[in-house]
């Protein structure tokens, strides 16, 4: 069996597995925002956190007359320049009285204002209501959601033979329970409980659910601004030093290049790795704020044979097999530190220092490409970040240093040249020996390490109907990488032209070209080869009636490695979306046909799902994919969602691999979700 | 080492042979087919119909920094009762490998929105130890102003497929360029070119010019095939203009250039 084959199978496992996870916010505005941000991300991310955040603000509207930078940044679709202009306008011209005023502010177009209007209100500033027990009970609201899902066909991991028990300890049912309590933006409680397919539930090896996450979040208006007890996320600066939770990279939204410095936020995602557990608070006095944090949790790790060293950390959150359960919480991690921030418009500066400590040391890298990776059991990180806006320009950057090893630097600029044209530029230089366990800086590879690059992007609004987004990114990897046994370089080009004829009809075409290096196939030569990937996509969406819309997409991908001939992939789908304004029922359907030569020419596409579910699976191989989602509202505050999805391959005897393998050519999945709000 | 490099340049040259587009257009990703000014002599002479007084320009480009390869360009244009004439001379290479191009172009406006141009070029190539060769080629182009903001343009170089009789490894490119330039405001202009050279992959180029303040502009651009990034700035005061540009090729490195222009 050659390596190519192993990789394809591995990839298939990953891809198939991800068919299982599962989203659209049924709210079309939220869906648009998510889709524009998410499209360039991969399938491993949990977008539910953003859906939840946007849903929250669409119910608990932000009062634009009291909104701060932090809150506005959380909306993600408004750029730092727009936020600055909006706040300056409020300072200079006084409180807003009408939404139309925003449209007059420099840098705001009708589309942004339309989106914004879903999340804000215009009210006079009012004092916060008191936290009295009476108020808490009367004005707070509760939100309880339960989701079940299962793959219908039996996977090998659940089969037992005469000698062996099944590889997976638990049942194939996925269970997710989510509870939120919220009291007028002042106090929030959140609880997530999850069990993945194959994990045990209330059985001897497991105790109840496999994963719990909970927190209490308090928002104040005096010295204490925020307090989180339990699971939280920290998002500082440009994500080089400390950024937990979901981060964004290069994408079809140029402004997402500048990371919003959100600071402390309660953790609400079902991702089992990317959070901190303990206590943290933000104290603010005048222009200064301080965020101390401390966290202690167990992390999943594979240990060396002697059991005294960590070989690698695992972030999948899956604990189905005996090995996975053995690795569960195999090491403990302490994180403690402090972020301080000084804000004086148009400046904002931050300093972050923290220490990460593990109960076991990391083994030093065994292979050459891992030579500069972290070893030992304690790491101190320091970071300094800034942002500054001047007229039509927004500057941002961060310098980060890991003690006794390397540094990382990022500097960027977003410039709106005119009402129609804006550009973005970003330079990054990350040392090969820069270490941080919470680093999500903009990069081509995962994490800000061993990379230098320059990004330049351009957005042009030719008219209210035509928009062009394009960027070029050149990158260089000074040291070896996984599967690239030499320093290498590459580039990425992206162009997207969209035409909004009116609210009823929209066409988008997108082209992406990427060139990178990878080890040559061993039977060919021992050097590295160029790998070229190209994607061309055309998407049409139009409204047939007020409640019925249609979406079509066709996408072609091409993959070529070295001198080998190119491999092609094709995907087309038809979506039907039924979303009447006032009806108990809404839903959507997809029928897709895909035909790709293999894993390398796979094509990613966003899928609708139940609320807070999500997926951007890779379509690969040859076959059809269809799904149906439906939502029914029994009464206000009581909804049910149903989803059925089918993946049917042509010319395959099995689907998936390893313990997830299914005998036959089909894989189908259903989901039921209930939500009560009271 | 130098000879390996020479080979690289030789294979690369037939794409570039046709001259340095000058510091202003080069900074804009070399997407100059639909732009106007004296440097249009290099990419599409119909763009010189925009000049109103005689002008001259000089540029010096150093290719890939650490090497000795450079190009020197001199241009002169002058309008004469509705017609515009232009001359260019360019030298490219280093001691062992030298190209020389000299050209003349005639351009004229037809009506308010259409400009046409034709031109002739003399090419000479000499390689130490191999001798020298020369050839003539023709070029033609037009620019059409769709409205005050948008200009569409097209240019064809060497349609007759002239070639050097000897030294046949190196050729005069047969090239078709389609371009568009769009002025968003009096501060921002963008240009985009689609370029096909016979026997080479299609190139798309994109450039942007931004007048930061009066007399001073910043420029940037990219080209897709080969992938290159460009940046530059320009300063003009009264009759004098100074422009600088740098292009970056991932494998070959930086090529900076500087240019000087004067309006009589």
A670 in contact with chain B, both atoms CB, cutoff 8 A? no
Q: Which two tokens stand for residue A108?
A: 């705001």
Is residue B1 predicted with pLDDT exceeding 60?
A: no
Residue B69: CB partners within 8 Å, gap ≥ 6? B9, B62, B63, B92, B93, B94
Closest partner residue to B250 (CB to CB) among A423, A456, A489 is: A489
Lowest mean pLDDT among A66-80, A490-504, B99-113: A66-80
Contact (CB, 8 A) for B60 and B257: yes
Residue B66 confidence class, pLDDT cut points 50, 70, 90:
low
For range B151-156, the mean pLDDT? 94
Contacts of B185 in chain A (CB under 8 A): 418-420
Q: Which two tokens stand for residue B176?
A: 């078709």
Residue A490 confidence class, pLDDT cut points 50, 70, 90:
very high
Residue of chain A whose Cα is closest to the Cα of B212: A417
Helix (H, G, I), strand (E, B) or coil at B24: helix
A489 in contact with chain B, both atoms CB, cutoff 8 A? yes
To the nearest whole Å, the CA of A426 is away from the closest chain B CA by 13
Contact (CB, 8 A) for A629 and A607: no
Contact (CB, 8 A) for B134 and B125: yes
Q: Which of B118, B141, B138 is nearest to B34 (CA)?
A: B141
Residue A654 exposure: Cα atoms within 13 Å on the Cβ side: 14
Lowest mean pLDDT among A235-239, A389-393, A451-455: A389-393
Residue of chain B whose Cα is closest to the Cα of A420: B184
Q: What DSSP character marks residue A562?
A: T
Q: Give which of A420, A421, A459, A462 to mutate to test B binding, by max B Cβ within 10 Å.
A: A421
Contact (CB<8Å) A460/B220: no
Residue A10 confidence class, pLDDT cut points 50, 70, 90:
very low
Residue A206 confidence class, pLDDT cut points 50, 70, 90:
low
Residue B24: CB partners within 8 Å, gap ≥ 6? B32, B35, B37, B39, B209, B219, B232, B234, B243, B245, B259
Residue of chain B whose Cα is closest to the Cα of A425: B220
Closest partner residue to A491 (CB to CB) among B190, B206, B227 is: B227
Lowest mean pLDDT among A85-89, A252-256, B44-48: A252-256
Q: Which of A480, A428, A418 is nearest to A455 (CA)?
A: A428
Residue A611 confidence class, pLDDT cut points 50, 70, 90:
confident
- B222: how many CB neighbours lie within 10 A of its CB? 29
- Per-residue model confidence as pLDDT tens digits over A522-567: 776 678 899 999 999 999 988 888 888 888 999 999 999 988 889 9
To the nearest whole Å, the CA of A422 is away from the closest chain B CA by 10
Q: Which of B222, B118, B162 is nearest to A472 (CA)?
A: B222
To the nearest whole percent, how much of chain B has pLDDT over 90?
A: 59
Contact (CB, 8 A) for A269 and A246: yes
Is residue A78 predicted with pLDDT exceeding 50?
A: yes
Return mean pLDDT, chain A: 85
B227 in contact with chain A, both atoms CB, cutoff 8 A? yes
Closest partner residue to A493 (CB to CB) among B185, B190, B224 is: B224
Contact (CB, 8 A) for B101 and B121: yes
Distance CA A235, CA A668 (A): 38
For range B199-203, the mean pLDDT? 88
Burial B233-251, CB ≥16 within 10 A → b, else e: bbebeeeebebbbbbbbbe
pLDDT at residue A167, as a whole number: 86
In order of A48, A358, A501, A576, A578, the CA distances from A545 in angstroms are 29, 58, 16, 12, 10
A540 in contact with chain B, both atoms CB, cutoff 8 A? no
Contacts of A472 in chain B (CB under 8 A): 222, 227, 229
**What is the sign, positive or negative, of the torsion defined by CA atoms of A176, A319, A201, A644?**
positive
Contact (CB<8Å) A470/B206: yes
- B61: how many CB neighbours lie within 10 A of its CB? 25
Is residue A170 predicted with pLDDT exceeding 70?
A: yes
Residue A175 confidence class, pLDDT cut points 50, 70, 90:
very high
Q: Which of A368, A366, A364 is nearest to A479 (CA)?
A: A368
To the nearest whole Å, the CA of A568 is away from the closest chain B CA by 20
Is residue A25 predicted with pLDDT exceeding 70?
A: no
Residue A14 confidence class, pLDDT cut points 50, 70, 90:
very low
Distance CA A424, CA A412 (A): 7
Distance CA A471, CA A466 (A): 17
Residue A17 confidence class, pLDDT cut points 50, 70, 90:
very low
Return mean pLDDT, chain B: 87
Contact (CB<8Å) A493/B220: no
Q: Give the dihedral of Cα atoms B146, B149, B150, B156; nearest 10 deg.
A: 100
Contact (CB<8Å) A474/B250: yes
CA angle B52, B56, B59 (to 5 degrees): 135
pLDDT at residue A147, as a whole number: 94
What distance, in Å, lies between the first and last C-alpha atoms of chain B? 45
Contact (CB<8Å) B220/A456: yes
pLDDT at residue A18, as a whole number: 37
CA angle A593, A595, A596 (to 5 degrees): 140
A106 in contact with chain B, both atoms CB, cutoff 8 A? no
Burial bucket for residue B167 (CB in 10 Å: 0-12, 13-18, 19+): middle
To the nearest whole percent, how much of chain A has pLDDT over 70?
A: 92
Residue of chain A whose Cα is closest to the Cα of B218: A417
Residue of chain A whose Cα is closest to the Cα of B207: A458
Q: Give which of A422, A452, A472 to mutate to test B binding, by max B Cβ within 10 Å.
A: A472
Contact (CB<8Å) A472/B229: yes
To the nearest whole Å, the CA of A417 is away from the closest chain B CA by 7
Residue A38 confidence class, pLDDT cut points 50, 70, 90:
low
The residue count of chain B comes to 264
B206 in contact with chain A, both atoms CB, cutoff 8 A? yes
pLDDT at residue A46, as a whole number: 66
B128 in contact with chain A, both atoms CB, cutoff 8 A? no
* CB interface of A with B, residues 410-469, below 8 Å: 415, 417-421, 423, 454, 456, 458, 460, 462
Contact (CB, 8 A) for A488 and A432: no
Residue of chain A whose Cα is closest to the Cα of B217: A417
Contacts of B210 in chain A (CB under 8 A): 415, 417, 423
Residue A218 confidence class, pLDDT cut points 50, 70, 90:
very high
Residue of chain A whose Cα is closest to the Cα of B210: A417
In order of A151, A319, A629, the CA distances from A21 in angstroms are 10, 15, 14
Contact (CB<8Å) A491/B248: no
What distance, in Å, lies between the first and last C-alpha atoms of chain A? 57
Contact (CB<8Å) B248/A421: no
Contacts of B220 in chain A (CB under 8 A): 423, 456
- Per-residue model confidence as pLDDT tens digits over A418-458: 888 889 999 999 999 999 999 988 888 878 899 999 999 99
Q: Give which of B181, B211, B229, B253 to mutate to test A binding, by max A Cβ within 10 Å.
A: B229
Contacts of A419 in chain B (CB under 8 A): 185
Contact (CB<8Å) A417/B227: no
DSSP string, A278-343: EEEEEEEETTEEEEEEEEEEEE-EEEPTTSSSEEEE--S----SHHHHHHTT-EEEEEEEEEEEEE
Residue A7 confidence class, pLDDT cut points 50, 70, 90:
very low
Helix (H, G, I), strand (E, B) or coil at B34: coil
Closest partner residue to B222 (CB to CB) among A415, A419, A456 is: A456
Contacts of B222 in chain A (CB under 8 A): 456, 472, 493
Tokens 């007759």, located at residue? B160
For range A617-637, the mean pLDDT? 90
B35 in contact with chain A, both atoms CB, cutoff 8 A? no
Is residue A216 predicted with pLDDT exceeding 90?
A: yes
Contact (CB, 8 A) for A462 and A468: yes
Residue A28 confidence class, pLDDT cut points 50, 70, 90:
low
Distance CA A61, CA A677 (A): 17
A474 in contact with chain B, both atoms CB, cutoff 8 A? yes
This prediction's pTM: 0.82
Highest mean pLDDT among A71-85, A253-267, B197-211: B197-211
Is residue A2 predicted with pLDDT exceeding 60?
A: no
Contact (CB<8Å) A420/B188: yes
Tokens 């004229």, located at residue? B108
Closest partner residue to B184 (CB to CB) among A418, A456, A490 is: A418
């Amino acid at each position: 069996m050659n390596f190519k084959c192993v990789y394809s199978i591995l990839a298939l496992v990953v891809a198939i597995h991800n068919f299982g996870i599962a989203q659209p916010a049924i709210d079309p505005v939220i869906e648009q925002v998510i889709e524009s941000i998410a499209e360039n991300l991969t399938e491993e991310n949990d977008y539910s956190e953003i859906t939840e955040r946007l849903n929250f603000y669409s119910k608990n509207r932000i009062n634009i007359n009291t909104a701060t930078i932090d809150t506005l940044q959380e909306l993600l679709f408004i750029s730092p320049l727009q936020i600055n202009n909006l706040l300056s306008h409020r300072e200079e011209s006084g409180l807003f009285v009408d939404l139309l005023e925003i449209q007059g502010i420099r840098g705001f177009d009708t589309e942004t204002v339309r989106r914004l209007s879903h999340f804000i209100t215009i009210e006079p500033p009012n004092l916060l209501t008191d936290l009295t027990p009476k108020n808490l009970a009367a004005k707070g609201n509760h939100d309880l959601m339960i989701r079940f899902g299962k793959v219908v066909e039996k996977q090998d991991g659940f089969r037992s033979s005469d000698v062996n028990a099944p590889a997976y300890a638990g049942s194939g049912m996925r269970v997710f329970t989510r509870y939120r309590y919220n009291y007028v933006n002042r106090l929030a409680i959140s609880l997530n409980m999850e069990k993945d397919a194959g994990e045990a539930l209330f059985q001897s090896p497991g105790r109840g659910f496999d994963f719990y996450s909970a927190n209490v979040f308090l928002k104040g208006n005096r010295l204490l601004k925020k307090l989180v007890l339990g699971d939280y996320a920290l998002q500082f600066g440009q994500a080089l030093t400390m950024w937990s939770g979901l981060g964004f990279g290069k994408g079809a939204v140029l402004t997402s290049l500048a990371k919003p410095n959100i600071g402390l936020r309660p953790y609400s995602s079902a991702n089992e790795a990317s959070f901190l557990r303990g206590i943290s608070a933000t104290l603010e006095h005048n222009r200064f704020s301080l965020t101390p944090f401390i966290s202690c949790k167990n992390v999943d790790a594979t240990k060396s044979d002697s059991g005294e060293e960590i070989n690698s950390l695992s972030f999948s959150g899956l604990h189905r097999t005996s090995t996975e359960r053995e690795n569960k919480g195999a090491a403990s991690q302490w994180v403690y530190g402090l972020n301080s921030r000084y804000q004086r418009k148009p400046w904002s500066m931050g300093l972050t220092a923290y220490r990460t400590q593990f109960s076991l040391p990391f083994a030093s890298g065994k292979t050459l490409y891992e030579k500069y990776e972290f070893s030992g059991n304690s790491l101190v990180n320091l970071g300094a970040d800034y942002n500054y806006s001047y007229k039509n320009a927004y500057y941002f950057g961060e310098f980060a240093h890991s003690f006794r090893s390397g540094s990382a630097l990022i500097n960027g600029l977003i410039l709106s040249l005119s009402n129609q044209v804006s550009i973005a530029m970003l330079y990054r230089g990350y040392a090969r020996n820069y270490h941080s366990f919470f680093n999500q800086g903009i990069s081509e590879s995962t994490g800000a390490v061993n990379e230098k690059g320059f990004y330049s992007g351009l957005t042009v609004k030719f008219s209210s109907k035509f928009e062009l987004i394009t960027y070029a990114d050149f990158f260089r990897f000074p040291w070896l990488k996984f599967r690239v046994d030499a320093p290498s370089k590459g580039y990425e080009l992206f162009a997207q032209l969209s035409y909004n004829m009116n609210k009823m009809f929209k066409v988008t075409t997108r082209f992406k070209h990427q060139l990178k290096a990878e080890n040559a196939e061993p039977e060919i030569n021992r050097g590295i080869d160029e790998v070229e990937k190209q994607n061309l996509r055309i998407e049409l969406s139009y409204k047939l009636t007020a409640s019925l819309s249609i979406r079509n997409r066709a996408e072609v991908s091409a993959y070529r490695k070295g001198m080998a001939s190119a491999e092609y992939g094709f995907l087309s789908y038809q979506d039907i979306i039924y979303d009447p304004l006032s009806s108990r029922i809404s839903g959507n359907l997809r029928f897709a046909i895909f035909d790709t030569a293999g894993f390398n020419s796979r094509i990613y596409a966003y899928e609708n799902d139940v609320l807070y579910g999500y997926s951007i699976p890779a379509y690969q191989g040859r076959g059809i994919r269809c799904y149906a989602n439906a939502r029914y509202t029994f009464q206000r505050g009581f909804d049910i969602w149903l989803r059925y999805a089918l993946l049917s391959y042509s010319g395959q005897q099995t689907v998936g691999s390893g313990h997830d393998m299914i005998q036959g050519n089909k894989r189908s999945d259903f989901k039921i979700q209930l939500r009560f709000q009271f | 080492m130098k000879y390996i490099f020479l080979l690289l340049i030789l294979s690369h040259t037939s794409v570039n042979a046709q001259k340095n587009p000058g510091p202003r257009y080069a900074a804009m990703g070399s997407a100059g087919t639909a732009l106007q000014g004296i440097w249009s002599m290099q990419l599409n002479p119909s763009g010189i119909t925009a000049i109103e007084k005689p002008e001259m320009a000089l540029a010096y480009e150093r290719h890939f920094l650490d090497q000795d390869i450079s190009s020197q360009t001199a241009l002169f244009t002058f309008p004469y009762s509705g017609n515009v004439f232009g001359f260019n001379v360019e030298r490219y290479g280093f001691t062992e490998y030298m190209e020389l191009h000299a050209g003349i172009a005639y351009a004229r406006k037809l009506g308010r929105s259409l400009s046409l141009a034709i031109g002739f070029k003399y090419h000479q190539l000499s390689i130490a130890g191999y001798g020298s060769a020369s050839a003539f080629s023709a070029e033609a182009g037009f620019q059409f102003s769709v409205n005050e903001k948008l200009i569409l343009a097209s240019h064809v170089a060497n349609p007759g497929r002239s070639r050097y009789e000897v030294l046949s490894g190196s050729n005069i490119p047969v090239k078709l360029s389609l371009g568009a330039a769009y002025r968003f405001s009096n501060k921002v202009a963008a240009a985009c070119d689609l370029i096909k050279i016979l026997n080479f992959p299609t190139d798309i180029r994109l450039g942007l010019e931004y007048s930061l303040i009066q007399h001073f502009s910043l420029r940037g651009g990219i080209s897709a095939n080969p992938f290159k990034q460009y940046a530059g700035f320009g300063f003009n005061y009264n009759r004098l203009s100074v422009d600088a540009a740098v292009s970056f090729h991932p494998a070959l490195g930086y090529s900076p250039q500087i240019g000087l222009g004067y309006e009589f």
